[in-house]
Amino acid sequence: MMDEWAKDRTHLVDKGIVHEGYLSFVILCRGTFVTVPDAGLEQVSFEVPVTCFDCLNLPWLGEPDDLDVTFEHAGYRCNVVRGPNGSLNGYVLVPATHPASALETDQIPVDVHGGLTWAGPFEGDTPDVLRLGFDCAHASDWTPAMPSTRQHGTYRDVVYVTAECKKLAEQLRKMEDAHGS
């Protein structure tokens, strides 16, 4: 049974999940609905036009699902991409000879959102680069594919992740310059 809040706002969604009297749902982008199966959830469907995404206050709706932003900063190629859970990830590509290549990921002395969570290649990367990155799917983050994170997390948008990439690139540049690589 749909609660009164959902009935009053049925113009906003065409699928949802009712749990403990509240309508909860995940919209990754522009009408792509993903429901997360869980015990005790009742999936409901109702036919309505989806026209008012701003009312939902889901900040990633203005970003493409296949977000992939590449730019140069501090002499390095930087990359912001959407991860499989809908959150954004940031990466900086440094030369394979960079001092960071000799360290374990958690030993690289940088300050970036959530800490470094990736040090290695992606498919298609050339062997002469090392990709260092971070994700925005930590306990303090609002992750699109995880509705429960909305109540205590903050969505890290492309502006935020781009700034963190730049900050990471600057720290990696200082590290490389200090080692004379």
For residues 108-118, average pLDDT = 95
**pLDDT tier for residue 57 given thresholds of 50, 70 and 90:** low
Rounded CA-CA distance 6/50 in Å is 14
Rounded CA-CA distance 44/34 in Å is 13
**Using an 8 Å Cβ cutoff, are 143 and 85 in contact?**
yes
pLDDT at 100: 95
pLDDT at 173: 97
Of all residues in the chain, the percent with pLDDT exceeding 70 is 68
**Using an 8 Å Cβ cutoff, are 13 and 2 in contact?**
no
Lowest average pLDDT, out of 22-36, 56-70, 139-153, goes to: 22-36
Residue 65 DSSP symbol: T
Strand order in the sheet with 68-73: 68-73, 76-82, 88-95, 129-135, 118-120
Residue 78 pLDDT greater than 90, yes or no: yes
Q: Give the H or E element holding residue 175.
A: helix 158-179
Of all residues in the chain, the percent with pLDDT exceeding 90 is 47
Residue 152 pLDDT greater than 50, yes or no: yes
Residue 107 pLDDT greater than 80, yes or no: yes
For residues 91-98, average pLDDT = 95
- pLDDT per residue over 133-143, tens digit each? 999 999 889 88
pLDDT at 94: 96
- Residue 76: CB partners within 8 Å, gap ≥ 6? 92, 93, 94, 169, 172, 173
